[in-house]
Amino acid sequence: MEEKLKQSIQKINGNVKEKAQKIGKQFKEIYDSNVQKLKTALQKLQESNKELIERLEKDINDLPNKIFENLGDSSEGQGQTQK
């Protein structure tokens, strides 16, 4: 009877170990997948931020030209009579 009990315990321990390994493997797969998704999202965000910064820098550099264009447009409009 004691031997049978030991065998049952060993069988249960083996099943628990096997299930724990499966759970660990699944957890690692999900974890790795989530890490990859986060890396991809971070890369896209960094690219998007880079594009926004480049556009802002261009807009800042073009701002003086835009101001003078608008001043030129308004001075031309002042010289014309309205109908």
**Residue numbers of the chain with a pLDDT score lower than 70:** 73-83
Residue holding tokens 């099943």?
A: 15
Structural domain contains residue 35: yes
* Residue 19 to residues 8, 46, 57, Cα–Cα distance (Å): 16, 40, 56
Structural domain contains residue 77: no
Structural domain contains residue 71: no
Domain count for the chain, please give it. Answer: 1
Structural domain contains residue 26: yes
What domain range includes position 11? 1-66
Structural domain contains residue 21: yes
pLDDT for 24-43, tens place per residue?
999 999 999 999 999 999 99
Structural domain contains residue 73: no
Q: Give this prediction's pTM.
A: 0.58
Q: What is the pLDDT of residue 63?
A: 85
